[in-house]
Amino acid sequence: MEYLKTALFIYDESSEYAALLEENEFGTVCQQITIDDFLKAPQTYKAHADHLLITCKSENIHLLLQLAVKYDFSIAFLPSTKQKTLIHTYGYSSSYKENIEIALRDNLKNVDLIYCNDEYYHLKVRLGDTPLIDNMNEDSSFVSNFIRGVQLFFQLKLYAYDITTANEREIKTAASGLIIANHVRESKIVNALFFDSSMRDGQMSMIIVSPFSILKYFYFLISILRFSSENKKLPDAISFVKSEKFTISNENIPVMLDGFKETKTPISCEIKKEALRFNAPENFWDNNEKRGNEKETIKIANLPDEKERGKYLQSHLPLFEVASTERFKELFQILREDAKLNTQFIMLMFLSTVIAAIGLFANSAAVVIGAMVLAPLMTPIVAFSMGLLRGEDEMMKNALVKIVLGVIVALSASSLMAILLPQVGLTGELKARINPTLLDLGVAVFAGMAAAYSKSHQSIRESLAGVAIAVALVPPLATAGIGLGQSEFYVFFGGFLLFFTNLVGIALAATITFQFLGFSNAVKSKKSLIAVSLVLVIVSYPLYLSYTQIVDKYRLNTALVHNRFLIDDKYIIISTADVISKDDVDMVRITIIVRGSLDRRELEMLKNKIQKIYNKKVYLNVKTEYVL
Amino acid sequence: MKNTFVVLFCLFVFTACQDKETVIIPSGKVKVIGFLASKKYLSDPDRFGVLKILERSEGYLDNGDRLHVKILSVEGDPLKDFNDLVQTPDIIAVISFLGSKEMLSLKDAIQEAKIPLIITTATHSKLSGIKYVSRICLSDRSEANVAAAYLRDELYIPEVTVIKDSKDVFSQELSALFVQRYKQLGGKVGLTIDSAEFDQENEFISKLIDEKVDTLYITTDAHKSKLLLEQLQKAKLEVKILAYDGFISDFLSQYPYDAKMLNGIYVVDNYANDLKLLPKAAKIAKEISKEGLRIDTYDALSYDAWMLLKQSLNACAGLEDECLNAHLRNTDSFEGAVDNLSMHEGDITRPVYVNEIEDAKMNMMVKVY
């Protein structure tokens, strides 16, 4: 490897490089000059050498860059360990000795520079805000940059940008920020965004960040980490333009040049091909292959156009994306139709209830599930939720009328079935629907989310059947109706509580999900939301009570199977235990294993001991198994 | 008027936020509780840490009288020590940590002294029915019943070998009751080995191997049980072992570094380490853990004895003598360490735990009511 004979070492602070250069083993004579001396008369140093070895802060590098181009100096950086962007962008080493070896090589190549508003820049130009993407300020620490980034993240807003490219292509859009660079490596995100850029292709890359909500921006940050050169699909919030020149004509948008110099738009940047002779490590040249005749590239499908951008230019971005009526026209149309009462709905409600009632009487899970799928009650509830969110009174009213009529039809049909069919007592399917707990509310909430989500995505709308099964609406109604028909009011209340739990849970969860999905940035019908939430709280109380009852029973069951009783020297093992409640009376059903039979007195003693453990009076149902 | 409401409201809020515990004003009177313990129980200096904590945190009666603990270690004649202890001014009751043999020797002295005595560790059947005696630990009979039933009806063991110490009253009675009950349940007691045989070059091990013994019921003390376990380990003889109440505590207080030897042994006990303590006991356990100690069977029994005594003293409101004894011997319910317990004619009704030892802890297998 050949090395340069002479070089000028320009520094602004004392550096370890000075001593190492003095004793360099490559035979290069280095004259050491402070930046202040050099700036006074740069051309005078040309007589000694025309290669600058630069160890300076960003702003001084910037000054030297202008002079290097002007007086045709070649340059090489000797970065300090703190100058991470320089090290990463140009592929320097953390070893000062290695960097000196690279800087003194006689292997100079020309690189492009960005020329903005009559000055040269070598790293990047940022317009607007792109928090947490790039280093906000080169001289600040990572932590302070991060804190500033997080602050900006929650204050994000979109600016109007009128961009003109070298080929006079006009892009009028709204974006939070732009980054222009021809080759920069600093953060993982920046590296991913500029993975295909080069300092030797005669063009600049522009990344336009245009999220419609804070969540969208967050999603973009996450997704860009998964972005790879193989999968070149850009995240939704990102657009990409590559050109020789960009002019941004809008006014007063903040601009940061090379991470240190602040200014405001308008700004015009163009690429100055091969503007600077430069020395860098081999890996830099490998990543910056010389390319010629690159075409202008414009990928802006993700950007709002001039017509759309007006509504995005609010003070700050909303947390959730606001969906336009146009964008979700089809869904609204479907939901409006879903909210309207029609004979098909009444017919289906009647049929599904009859099927559910038969399934409940026959204790057939399959028939009950069939009724769940057939039941049309989910659609008006989802429509009600959308009405609640968007403040569409008519949709809400129609949906509510439809739900109420559906309930009346279901209760009447199932009551009639209970009167007509012979009494078969409480089947397992009926019993399963008269003791709702908080767990049922949990199912309803998640089913409501699933319903709203599947309804808002055309491709998965068919999944609503699954949702309907998960949170059955008609079987509990049928149970309530059967309770009415048989005058068993605890069956009616249990079944109706389960139905009501599902109804309220779905409605509220679907409303929140629709908001999360961006159908509105706020719940418009606040009074209705409060009313539904209040009902949910009221419903939750009995559910909580029955849940704690179940937990108590579970605890008793688990305790009982570890319990043994010694009565009159007879060792009694409890192998299974179960507690059922009816009308405030607990029936403890146990299977005991015992060596000899127990008489009435001994069974009474056993009951007393169990009552003492349970701390309440119980009925005891004992099944005996003998060990011989 | 408005200010009055504000003041009343503040008072209401203030009083509502106060701890509901009754404020006790000390009367200045002291009542002494004697603790009579054999050297065996006091060999571990931390053994009665729980008593000191109880004296500190549960030491006042409702009438403001202070309970003070006087611990006396029995090193020679228990009768002499008992008589000395009951002479202590203001003594109102004695809690004993003596073995069955020592307690039986005090039978007449207790009647004479007419001072209520709570037994915590002596399990002999003959200690039931003594007028001034209340026992809060298991009796040998219930322990033997549970042990026999567990082996026969839970583990379906057809034959068991009994290891006993014929010189120990406790071991003798427990073994005899166990054998009787086990046979009643249709089980066979194959061998009965006396710990005296341990000294004769341990020929008993060959007997165990020859007879293909797989289950042992042991009633020997910690020292002799250790000899047995060592010999079993040496002979690589894997057997199921069921031991008695207090076994783990006695063993660990003497051989704290040999806890691994106990892994897998079943014990019938008054307590198990994985039980949830009742609120008051949990507070005491917290205090114990602050001092780097861990609650064990004897701590739980000390706690139970203290709570029974305190409840009875409060019920008698200073009229100690007969009232106290009557309450101690017949109490429908008092809060023990892990269960609500009751006393009937001086004998406790308490659940018996069958535990398995693992890493020096007793894990409950079954709870027998």
Calpha distance B298→A469 (Å, rounded): 57
Asked if A563 has any chain B CB less than 8 Å from its own CB, the reply is: yes
- Under the banding of pLDDT at 50, 70 and 90, the label for residue A157 is confident
From chain A, the residues in CB contact with B276 under 8 A are none
Kindly state whether residues B58 and B145 are assigned to the same domain: no
Looking at the structure, do residues A305 and A358 belong to the same domain, yes or no? no
When comparing pLDDT for A234 and B182, which is higher?
A: B182
**Do B218 and B125 fall into the same domain?**
no
A98 and A139 within one domain: no
Where in A43-158 does DSSP place strands (E)?
A: 51-55, 74-77, 109-116, 119-121, 124-128
A522: confidence class by pLDDT, cuts 50, 70, 90: low
Select the residue from A555, A564, A567, A611 to test the B interface by mutation, using most B Cβ atoms within 10 A: A564
pLDDT at position B243, please? 94
Q: What is the mean pLDDT of residues B213-232?
A: 90
Q: What pLDDT is stored for residue B15 in this prediction?
A: 47
Choose the most confident range, by mean pLDDT, from A415-429, A524-538, B94-108: B94-108
pLDDT recorded at residue A468: 65
> CA-to-CA distance for A114 and A63, rounded, in angstroms?
14
Give the mutation candidate from A556, A560, A561, A569 for the B interface (greatest B CB count, under 10 A): A569
Beta carbons of A571 and B153 less than 8 Å apart: yes
Nearest-CA distance A605 → chain B (Å): 11
Asked if residue A196 has pLDDT above 80, the reply is no
Question: Which residues does chain B have within 8 Å of residue A577's beta carbon, measured at their own beta carbons?
Answer: none
Residues A151 and A298 occupy one common structural domain: yes
Q: Give B 226-245 residues with CB within 8 A of chain A.
A: none
Candidates A556, A558, A561, A566, partner chain B, best to mutate (most B CBs within 10 A): A566
Per-residue model confidence as pLDDT tens digits over A369-405: 888 888 888 888 888 988 888 888 888 899 999 999 9
The whole-number pLDDT of residue A322 equals 64
Which domain covers residue A497, as residue numbers? 325-546
**Spatial separation of the C-alpha atoms in residues A601 and A606, rounded to whole Å:** 9
A477 close to A353: Cβ distance less than 8 angstroms: yes
Name residue B229's amino acid: L
A412 and A333 in a common domain: yes
- B22 part of a folded domain: no
Closest CA to A479 of A463, A458, A493: A493
| Gap between the Cα atoms of B137 and A240, Å rounded | 83
B57 and B96 share one domain: yes
Whether B364 sits inside 8 A of A609 (CB atoms) is: no
Chain A residue with minimum CA distance to B149 = A571
Q: Which residues of A touch B185 (CB under 8 A)?
A: 595
Q: Establish if A626 touches chain B: CB-CB under 8 angstroms.
A: no
Nearest-CA distance A604 → chain B (Å): 14
Does the distance separating the beta carbons of B366 and A595 come in below 8 Å?
no
Secondary structure of residue B197 in the 3-state scheme: helix
The number of folded domains in chain A is 4
- Tokens read off for A103: 């800087």
Q: Does some domain include residue B269?
A: no
The CATH number given to whatever domain includes residue A19 is: 3.40.50.10330
Give the pLDDT score at A323: 61
**Looking at residue B118, what is its pLDDT?**
92
Contact B149 A613 (CB under 8 A): no
Give the chain B residue nearest A558 (alpha carbons): B366
Q: Please, which pLDDT band fits residue B2 given cuts at 50, 70 and 90?
A: very low
Phi and psi torsions of B99, nearest 5°: -75, 170
Contact B368 A613 (CB under 8 A): no
pLDDT of residue A66: 93
pLDDT (tens digit per residue) in B275-306: 888 988 888 888 888 777 777 888 888 899 99
Dihedral angle computed from the Cα positions of residues A153, A157, A158 and A160, in that order, rounded to the nearest 10 degrees:
-130
- For chain A, helix, strand, coil in percent to 5 are 50, 20, 30
Eight-state DSSP code of residue A86:
H
* Average pLDDT, integer, range A119-132: 89
Res. B17 pLDDT band, cuts 50 70 90: very low
Task: Examine the domain organization and report whether B129 and B52 are in the same domain.
Answer: yes
Give the list of residues 6+ apart from residue B214 with CB closer than 8 angstroms, or none.
B157, B238, B239, B240
Q: Match 């399934």 to its residue by tokens.
A: A359
Domain of residue B67, CATH code? 3.40.50.2300
Answer yes or no: do A563 and B368 touch at CB < 8 A: yes
d(CA B17, nearest CA chain A) in Å = 26
**How far from chain centre, in Å, is Cα A107?**
48
The structure tokens listed for A196 are 């295909």
Whole-number percent of chain B with pLDDT over 90: 28
Q: Does A595 touch chain B (CB under 8 A)?
A: yes
What's residue B320's pLDDT?
59
Statement to judge: residues B216 and B151 lie in one domain: yes
Q: Strand B340-344 relative to strand B331-335: parallel, antiparallel, unpaired?
A: antiparallel
Residue that terminates a domain, selected from A491, A511, A546: A546
Give B366→chain A minimum CA distance, Å.
5
End-to-end CA distance of chain A: 96
Question: Over 60: is that where the pLDDT of B5 sits?
Answer: no
Domain stops at, among A546, A570, A591: A546
- What's residue B368's pLDDT? 92
Please write the tens of the pLDDT for every residue from A252-304: 999 998 888 889 999 999 999 999 999 888 888 888 888 777 788 888 887 88
- Whether A407 shows a pLDDT value over 90: the answer reads yes
CB pairs below 8 Å between A and B: how many? Answer: 39
SS3 breakdown of chain B: % helix, strand, coil, rounded to 5? 45, 25, 30
Task: Let me know if residue A407 belongs to a domain.
Answer: yes
**Min Cα separation B298/chain A (Å):** 23
Same domain assignment for residues B128 and B41: yes
Judged by average pLDDT, the poorest of A48-57, B279-288, B359-368 is B279-288
Res. B1 pLDDT band, cuts 50 70 90:
very low
**One-letter amino acid identity for A78?**
L
Determine the Cα–Cα distance for residues A283 and A137; give it in Å rounded to an integer. 26
Interchain CB contact of A607 with B (< 8 Å): no
In a domain, A98, yes or no: yes
Please indicate, yes or no, whether residues B283 and B317 belong to a single structural domain of this protein.
Answer: yes
Cα distance from B278 to chain A (closest Cα, Å)?
14
Phi, psi of B18 (to 5 degrees): -70, 150
Write down the pLDDT at residue B18: 46
Alpha helices for A363-488 (secondary structure H) = 365-374, 378-390, 393-420, 428-431, 438-456, 464-470, 474-485
Q: What is the pLDDT of residue A95?
A: 87
Residue A563, min C-alpha distance to chain B (Å): 5
Residues A197 and A99 in one domain: no
pLDDT computed for residue B16 by the predictor: 47
Residue given tokens 């550096």 in the structure block: A15
Domain boundary residue among A523, A546, A569?
A546
Positive or negative, the Cα torsion across B58, B62, B65, B69?
negative
Residue B19 covered by a domain? no
Contact yes or no for B149 and A566 at CB 8 A = yes
Q: Tell me the per-residue pLDDT of B190-218, one tens digit each, with 9 for 90 and over.
A: 888 888 777 666 777 888 888 888 899 99
Give the mean pLDDT of chain A.
84
Q: What is the mean pLDDT of residues B314-332?
A: 82
* Rounded Cα–Cα distance for residues B141 and B129 (Å): 14
Considering the domain architecture, whether residues B166 and B133 belong to the same structural domain is answered as no
Predicted TM-score (pTM) of the model is 0.56
CB contact under 8 A, A593 and B153: yes
Q: Does B142 touch chain A (CB under 8 A)?
A: yes
Confidence check: pLDDT of A615 > 80: no
- Taking the alpha carbons at both ends of chain B, their separation in whole angstroms is 61
The confidence score (pLDDT) of residue B201 equals 64
Please check the confidence at residue B7 and state whether its pLDDT lies above 50: no
- Whether the CB of B276 is below 8 Å from some CB of chain A: the reply is no
Whether residue A317 has pLDDT greater than 80: no
Q: Do both A256 and A124 map to the same domain?
A: yes
Among A232-236, B122-126, B345-349, the minimum mean pLDDT is found in A232-236
CB B362 within 8 A of CB B269: yes
Nearest CA in chain B to A596: B185
State the smallest CA–CA distance between residue A559 and chain B in angstroms: 9
Please give the average per-residue pLDDT across B222-251, as a whole number: 89
Closest Cα of chain B to A565: distance in Å? 5
A371 and A462 housed in the same domain: yes
> Pick from B360, B122, B104: which is nearest to B245 by CA?
B122
Q: Is A609 on the interface with B (CB under 8 A)?
A: yes
3-state class (DSSP) for residue A24: coil
> Using one digit for the tens of pLDDT, what is the confidence trace for A539-554?
788 877 777 777 777 7
Q: Are A380 and A504 members of one domain?
A: yes
Q: What is the pLDDT, as a whole number, of residue B32? A: 86
Counted domains in chain B: 2
For A217-221, A313-317, A478-482, B278-282, which range has the lowest pLDDT when averaged over its residues? A313-317
Helix axes B140-149, B169-184, angle to 10 degrees: 40
Closest Cα to residue B184, out of B140, B217, B210, B151?
A: B151
Interface contact A564-B185, CB threshold 8 A: no
pLDDT of residue A53: 92
pLDDT at A563: 86
A572 CB neighbours in chain B (<8 A) are none
Whether residue A435 has pLDDT greater than 80: no
Contact A564 B367 (CB under 8 A): yes
User: Got the DSSP string for A214-247?
Assistant: HHHHHHHHHHHHH--SSS-PPPTTEEEEEESEEE
Q: Which of A565, A613, A627 sits opposite B368 (nearest CB)?
A: A565
Sorted by sequence, the CB contacts under 8 Å of residue B171 that are 6+ apart come out as B164, B165, B195, B219, B220, B221
Residues B122 and B145 in one domain: no
**For residue A187, what pLDDT band results from cuts at 50, 70 and 90?**
low
CATH number, domain containing residue A536: 1.20.1080
ipTM score for this prediction: 0.82
> pLDDT of B142-191, one tens digit each?
899 999 999 999 999 999 999 999 888 889 999 999 999 999 999 999 88
Which one, of A324, A381, A402, lies nearest residue A510 by Cα?
Answer: A381
Q: Are residues A567 and A534 in the same domain?
A: no
Query: Are B53 and B126 found together in one domain?
Result: yes
- Specify whether B45 is located in the same domain as B99: yes
Lowest mean pLDDT among A318-332, A600-614, B312-326, B345-359: A318-332
pLDDT of residue A231: 59
Share of chain A above pLDDT 90, in %: 22
Question: Residue A521's pLDDT is what?
Answer: 62
Asked, for residue A599, whether it belongs to a domain, the answer is: yes
Task: Give the pLDDT score at A264.
Answer: 93
Look at residue A120 in the predicted model and tell me its pLDDT.
Answer: 93
B84 with B148, same domain?
A: no
Indicate the residue of B145, B146, B367 with minimum beta-carbon distance to A563.
B367
**Whether residue A207 sits in one domain with residue A130:** yes
DSSP assignment of B55-71 equals HHHS-B-TTSPEEEEEE
Range of lowest pLDDT (A429-433, B135-139, B289-293, B313-317): B289-293
The pLDDT value recorded for residue B11 is 47
- Based on the fold, state whether residues A367 and A439 are members of the same structural domain: yes
- CB spacing of B154 vs A573 below 8 angstroms: yes
Domain match, A262 and A386 both: no
The region of weakest confidence among A179-183, A420-424, B72-76, B235-239 is A420-424
Task: Tell me what pLDDT residue A135 has.
Answer: 60
Residue span of the structural domain in which B38 resides: 30-138+275-351
pLDDT of residue B205: 82
Check CB contact under 8 Å for A571 and B149: yes
Which H or E element spans position A36?
helix A35-40
B14 has a chain A CB within 8 A of its CB: no
Q: List the single range of A302-311, B37-46, B62-71, B284-293 with lowest mean pLDDT.
A: B37-46
Structural domain contains residue B368: no
- The answer to whether residue A603 sits within a structural domain is yes
The rounded distance, in Å, linking the Cα atoms of B55 and B68 is 6
